[in-house]
Amino acid sequence: MKKLHLMGLVLMWVWLGASTAMAQEYVPALGPAFLEDEVATVRLTLSENDWAFILNPDNAYSNQEWPATFVYESSAGIDTVENVGMRLRGNTSREAAKKSFKVSFNTFTQGGSWNGLEKLNLNGNHNDPSMLRARMVWEFMRAQGHVAPRVSHVRVYVNGEYRGLYINVEHVDEEFIQKRFKHDDGNLWKCTYPGDLAYLGEDPEAYKLSPWWSDQRVYELKTNTVEDDYSAIAELCTVIGTVPDDEFECALEAIFDVDAFLKTAAMEILVGHWDNYIGNHNNYYLYERPTDGRLMMITYDVDNTLGIEWGGGWATHNVYQWDQWGERPLYERVMGIEQYRTRLGWYVRELLDNGFNGSAWLQHGSTLRTLCTSAALEDVYRTYDYGFNDDAFLDCLTGTWGGHVTQGIASYVNTRASSAYGQTSDAQFPRDIQAWVYTPVVDDTLRVKAEVAGAPMSVQAHVSVDGGPFVSYPMLDDGTNGDGEAGDARFGIRLGFPGADQVSWYTSATYIDGAQPTDPCVPSSAWISHATTVPFKLNELMALNNSFVADEAGGFADWVEIVNVSESFANPVGLALTDKRSSPDAYVFPAFTVDPGDHRVVWCDNDLEDGPLHAPFNLDAEQDNLILSVWDEFGWRCVDHIEWENDPIPNSSLGRVTDGAEEWVTFVSGTTTPPTPNAANAGPDASGCPEDLDGDLLVGVSDVLMVLGEFGCTQGCGIGDIDGDGVVAVDDVLAILSSFGEIC
């Protein structure tokens, strides 16, 4: 009954106006690592010497990780993970009596994880006498469809000593992104003080700065670190710092998700999150979405909220003037635009109407307090830093402890809700559209996607083919031309343009009041035709290399081969390779020379440290695709493309029947036509053989199944009658099996 009760309280916060598209993509299930209806136990055991090092005040800011054993106890059982990494985490909390810890499952065990997590944050929340505030904010954000970590409460023991009640918070990393974004291989930056997004010049290297007190970059790249590409940060700061007012909206919306920023700002302003970008230029992430190339801001560390204040009076602070501590260039420029200001006000009101009220927070907080009471009152470490007593926890919802805790949780929400409602009387319904296309186009088909705010009457794609007039096409959200999710605020359409060279496109949304925002502001262009002057083609690939050929490091990795089909020396520099349309430049070829008719293999193993001919992705043997493309004038243009869907045969390859030929066949190791990495393809002729029934030039499982499908046929038999005796019988099956695995 307790679980159902908690679920009911969380559902009280489920919103009516928030985009369900956000909910579907951004809010994964809690899973066994984040239990909503019980306080699990975490036990960490490490050597006494290592533990003494961690607790030594001289080492408070050390990030050295120490080997430990992690044990997780819940009603579902006990999990034990050996050899995890353990260290302190946080900023000022490192000097607090109640420490916060980071647990890493992959520090000492390559590829290590637990319940799909590489790391966990165990936060002491020593500033908060309730130890509920961060959890309640994260849960409300998830209920509203925002990008937010999963969270729960746990008891923490270290070397057998009870260290207190902790908040177990999901770490923001590649796994975090993978669980929330369909396209998850973009750049992710962790941004800390003083990350104000001020303009430092157009050179991306200028944004790799560190403050004088730390070696950590202010904008710390957490993914794709080998490339270390800060172009997106530099472009954002350049737009913020240099683009004139009359061009600012279009320039900013082309590279930054303004609507998501306004939704996040509305949430932060209501919960009183001041230790963030718009308050203290701290504690946020930027994610460069591969789908549209836009940056998206994600907030984190929300413990200083709901009445935890060191100055500010956040419960009544003006919702449109949050940046009282210095300059926040992005926030200030956005708030200087009337339509953005009024849209922020709308999102504030939307939250007020959908769960941000004192009674809902009091009820949910009461349930969480009951859940955590015994673990909290046994926690002596919570009393050491500020003198919090038992009443500070028990009265945390309506009582005021004093000092930096200016209000109880529900009391704060009541005050903030009333103040914010009165300040947003000018709020206007949101009208916004963000659109993108997947390039390079590989099959004459332009795929247009759009996400809209509010409830437009219609959404349209406008396309000009080879310089002709723009033609409008209705974009649907009923699954026929869209993404299959009706009513999810996302629209899509696929438009075929066979024989076209290039198109220009933009999208629009039409609202009942006549407003018609467009995106992009200036029509964008996309290539439909393939590049014909590039002398390289995809020639062969092996997506399941168990033992056929090893790379220079001795590993058996997936591989793809390109061939120079010209009669001259050629250099592939500038070409890109990917298996995802959303990331055309996943692997960019280095400069090297290939002789006429010669080959070069690239290993698809995500082991970039093994050399320049290693791509940052693996191939799926059962179903995948490869795109070879080049940047041509205004966008990515397909050079060559291959996709496959079959039952994988280990150590077999898919390749052109001869170098550069149109026809693709299967090459099988141990036959007369094996795979030929870095050598010429010499496949069978196309005459076929009786045993090759499906015409793929290989006698395999599908051919056997075709015969079995006609087994027993005695009249009008089709291709299953191999020996021509008028009946499909055992002899026909044996005829197939006698040639099984051979190339025809």
On whether residue 287 sits in a domain, the answer given is no
Q: What pLDDT shows up at residue 360?
A: 96
Residue range 515-569, pLDDT digits in tens? 999 999 999 999 999 999 999 999 999 999 999 999 998 999 999 999 999 999 9
Residue 742's closest CA among 677, 692, 685?
A: 692
- 156 - beta bridge partners? 42, 164
- 236 - beta bridge partners? none
> Comparing 139-143, 490-494, 657-661, 722-726, which segment has the lowest mean pLDDT?
722-726
List helix spans (H) across 243-355. Answer: 245-253, 258-271, 277-280, 329-335, 338-353
CATH number, domain of 696, equals: 1.10.1330.10
For 474, residues 6+ apart whose C-beta sits below 8 A from its C-beta are: 458, 459, 460, 493
Domains contained in the chain, number: 4
Query: Cα(154)–Cα(71) distance, rounded to whole angstroms?
Result: 12
Q: Are 678 and 563 spatial neighbours (Cβ–Cβ below 8 Å)? A: no
Tell me, yes or no, whether 454 and 558 share the same domain.
no
Tell the burial category of 543 from Cβ atoms under 10 Å away from its Cβ (0-12, 13-18, 19+).
Answer: buried
Q: Which of 483, 502, 527 is the last residue of a domain?
A: 527
Tell me, yes or no, whether 487 and 571 share the same domain.
no
Residue 3 has pLDDT above 90, yes or no: no
On whether residue 361 sits in a domain, the answer given is no
The chain-wide mean pLDDT, for the chain, equals 89
Tell me, yes or no, whether 705 and 640 share the same domain.
no
Residues 24-51 have a mean pLDDT of: 92
Tell me, yes or no, whether 47 and 153 share the same domain.
yes
Q: Are 661 and 653 spatial neighbours (Cβ–Cβ below 8 Å)? A: no
Residues 437-443 have a mean pLDDT of: 92
Tell me, yes or no, whether 469 and 582 share the same domain.
no
On whether residue 221 sits in a domain, the answer given is no
Element spanning 26, H or E: helix 20-26
Residue 637 has pLDDT above 80, yes or no: yes
Residues 215-230 have a mean pLDDT of: 92
Q: What pLDDT shows up at residue 482?
A: 41
Residue 120's closest CA among 165, 75, 97, 154?
A: 154
Start-to-end CA span in the chain (Å): 65
Residue 717 has pLDDT above 80, yes or no: no
Q: What pLDDT shows up at residue 744?
A: 65
Tell me, yes or no, whether 506 and 482 share the same domain.
yes
Residue 491's closest CA among 542, 552, 450?
A: 450
Residue 454 has pLDDT above 90, yes or no: no
Q: What is the DSSP string of 266-292?
A: HHHHHHT--SSHHHHS-SEEEEE-TTT
Q: What pLDDT shows up at residue 8?
A: 38
Higher pLDDT, 649 or 86: 86
On whether residue 268 sits in a domain, the answer given is no
Tell me, yes or no, whether 475 and 624 share the same domain.
no
Side-by-side strand order, sheet with 558-564: 614-615, 599-604, 558-564, 536-542, 652-656, 664-668
Percent of the chain residues topping a pLDDT of 70: 93
Residue range 350-400, pLDDT digits in tens? 999 999 999 999 999 999 999 999 999 999 999 999 999 999 999 999 999
Tell me, yes or no, whether 158 and 17 share the same domain.
yes
DSSP helix/strand/coil, 99: coil
Q: Which of 501, 527, 553 is the last residue of a domain?
A: 527
CATH number, domain of 574, equals: 2.60.40
Query: Cα(549)–Cα(64) distance, rounded to whole angstroms?
Result: 39
Return the DSSP state at 405.
B
Extended beta strands in 172-254, E state: 188-191, 219-221
Tell me, yes or no, whether 520 and 600 share the same domain.
no
> Comparing 257-266, 346-355, 481-490, which segment has the lowest mean pLDDT?
481-490
Residues 451-478 have a mean pLDDT of: 92
DSSP helix/strand/coil, 141: helix
Return the DSSP state at 502.
E
Residue 17 has pLDDT above 60, yes or no: no
On whether residue 292 sits in a domain, the answer given is no
> Comparing 21-35, 156-170, 392-406, 610-624, which segment has the lowest mean pLDDT?
21-35
Residue 240's closest CA among 228, 229, 226, 256?
A: 256
Q: What pLDDT shows up at residue 684?
A: 65
Query: Cα(583)–Cα(438) distance, rounded to whole angstroms?
Result: 9
On whether residue 368 sits in a domain, the answer given is no
Residue-range definition of the domain harbouring residue 540: 536-668
- pTM of the predicted model over 0.85: no
Query: Cα(232)–Cα(235) distance, rounded to whole angstroms?
Result: 5
Query: Cα(682)–Cα(720) distance, rounded to whole angstroms?
Result: 29
Q: Nearest-5° angle of CA 737, CA 741, CA 744?
A: 100
Token pair listed for 646:
């079959």
On whether residue 464 sits in a domain, the answer given is yes
Between the CA atoms of 719, 720, 723 and 729, what dihedral angle is there, to the nearest 10 degrees?
A: -160
Buried (b) or exposed (e) across 447-477, using 16+ Cβ within 10 A? bbbbbbbbebeebbbbbbbeeeeeeebebeb
Token pair listed for 137:
């904010």
Residue 718 has pLDDT above 80, yes or no: no
Return the DSSP state at 721.
-
DSSP helix/strand/coil, 54: helix
Longest distance between any two alpha carbons in the chain, whole Å: 96
Tell me, yes or no, whether 490 and 580 share the same domain.
no
On whether residue 93 sits in a domain, the answer given is yes
Say which residue the tokens 């270290």 belong to: 158
CATH number, domain of 456, equals: 2.60.40.10
Residue 186's closest CA among 117, 240, 116, 233?
A: 233
Q: Which of 113, 146, 175 is the last residue of a domain?
A: 175
Residues 19-29 have a mean pLDDT of: 56
Tell me, yes or no, whether 454 and 591 share the same domain.
no
Tell me, yes or no, whether 22 and 167 share the same domain.
yes
Residue 339 has pLDDT above 80, yes or no: yes
